[in-house]
Structure 1
């Protein structure tokens, strides 16, 4: 009897120890599982918090500044090709035809100056200037005038898009209205934008292509706002409305700077034109007085030196009055 009692007590003790041990392991496993569940449940919560934080105005401002810096670095590294200049001017990119016309213009100008002045060096200089400098200057003039027209009408295009979004129209329908209602060059550019979207290109990529054809800060701002809104969400009408106000403020500041710097520009123009203008007038009234500079080699050296110094002075004045805004 005593043997059975000892055996029963031993069984109870071993069972109790085993239950405690197995129960403690189960509790540890359960604790680990609960911790894993808590971590897995907290991960989406943290992702949601990060997404919410990314939608704050400070985070959006940081994203805009980062994209602006990246775009400026790309512009600094990339050299402006002749094809890009022709696109900016609104011309069909045809480099071969451009060079043919440039060489023909240079040859005609060089021969004409050589015949009139009887100076081979003057003919070569005129040929180089009209073959290389004048066509590029003309492209720059056309591009600058086209970009100015685009910039002047671009806030109106944004206002049309904002009113369309507030009235319930999709963004693509607003872009179509801009293409139909606004004049060139803004209307045709948005028409090409709509055509690129119609063939399957995304809005971000289509706007990037548009920025390549029309490299303006205003269009770059618009592209960045659209890209950030698609990634983070938010009120697009409010964002574009604020952008329109910023662009109009920039335009007012630009006009104010032009008004304040107009006196300096006029003074620089008069100073730059006065020496060659006086020389031409003296040569027309008294050819013998100025003829020595043309017939004597020493006079030719003086003319070249004076032209070089005048070029340095004009470039210096241009840097002084060329305000970046």
Structure 2
């Protein structure tokens, strides 16, 4: 993020993903690390393992571009999960502080001091923004953009409506904390009910690859001269794409938003 709180570079989607992942340091240095690693792996495969140029190039693309995006997405998912678990307690803390007569800025700074990372850090930034003149609604909107959690979007909308139409802020925040806590319970219940499906999908997907590797190790001649057939690559490609389609369907069956 830049000094004004906006995204520092033009690639908004990538900058948003990097910011929401919580990984510190320069995004350019992070990306260049994987690109150089991809170049090194591609050169090793091409020069020493005698693979084709296409295979080496695909390896470079996977390591240099696909792998960092997967790492960032996984880091963002884990960070949002931690944030979702902390937010109801943080809202309850704000409600208790407001009922005790503290102003909103003091309530937010209290959350920043008492709650651990990532919520404490992000609320600390929001507290500083409110202290330096930004409205609470704007600070929470920027907080929602930095984190990417839908619960913060609900908080931003609630504050916006309260600022325009009035109402009891403590009651709004208390109700929102209750809603978020119930949503978290429902999400954990769904995850527990779909655990069997996830494990089955992993086993079904990994079993052919594991058996193929075992046969190559213990009986290299098991497949005979089938490797010399001109149909082997098209067949492997078709069945590989078919397996990926099955994996995608199973993934969508056990992972969904609500």
TM-score, scaled relative to structure 1: 0.70
Instruction: Give the C-alpha shift of residue 296 in structure 1.
Output: 5.6
- The answer for the alignment partner of 1:265 in structure 2 is 198
Conserved 8 A contact 1:86-1:93: no
Q: Which has the larger radius of gyration?
A: 1
Does residue 228 of structure 1 match 2:185? Answer: no
Number of equivalent positions = 247
Q: Which structure is higher in RCO with an 8 Å CA cutoff and minimum separation 6? A: 2
Q: Structure 2 stretches of 5 or more lacking a match?
A: 1-10
Q: Structure 1 stretches of 5 or more lacking a match?
A: 1-78
- The answer for the alignment partner of 2:136 in structure 1 is 203
Stretches of 4+ aligned residues off by more than 4 angstroms: 290-297
Q: Distance in 2 between matches of 1:288 and 1:120?
A: 27
Q: Distance in 2 between matches of 1:142 and 1:215?
A: 12
Instruction: Give the C-alpha shift of residue 321 in structure 1.
Output: 2.0
The structure in which a higher percent of residues are helix is 1
Structure 1 pair 260/117, CA: closer, same or farther in 2 (3 Å)?
farther
Alignment of 1:292-303 (within 5 A): 298-303=231-236
- Per-residue Cα deviation, 1:113-141 (whole angstroms, up to 9, x for no partner): 44447344332322221112111000001
- The answer for the alignment partner of 1:23 in structure 2 is none
Q: Distance in 2 between matches of 1:271 and 1:80?
A: 37
Conserved 8 A contact 1:293-1:302: no
- The answer for the alignment partner of 2:40 in structure 1 is 108
Instruction: Give the C-alpha shift of residue 277 in structure 1.
Output: 1.5
- The answer for the alignment partner of 2:64 in structure 1 is 131
Conserved 8 A contact 1:82-1:95: no
Instruction: Identify which of 83, 97, 104 aligns with 1:150.
Output: 83
- Per-residue Cα deviation, 1:94-115 (whole angstroms, up to 9, x for no partner): 4432332232121233234444
Alignment of 1:42-53 (within 5 A): none
Structure 1 pair 198/225, CA: closer, same or farther in 2 (3 Å)?
same
- The answer for the alignment partner of 1:86 in structure 2 is 18
**Over aligned residue pairs, what C-alpha RMSD do you find?**
2.1
Instruction: Identify which of 180, 184, 192 aligns with 2:113.
Output: 180
Moved more, 312-321 or 244-253: 312-321
Conserved 8 A contact 2:105-2:131: no
Does residue 189 of structure 1 match 2:189? Answer: no
Instruction: Give the C-alpha shift of residue 262 in structure 1.
Output: 0.9
Conserved 8 A contact 2:31-2:68: no
SS of the equivalent of 1:288 reads: coil
- Per-residue Cα deviation, 1:282-305 (whole angstroms, up to 9, x for no partner): 111122335856666543333333
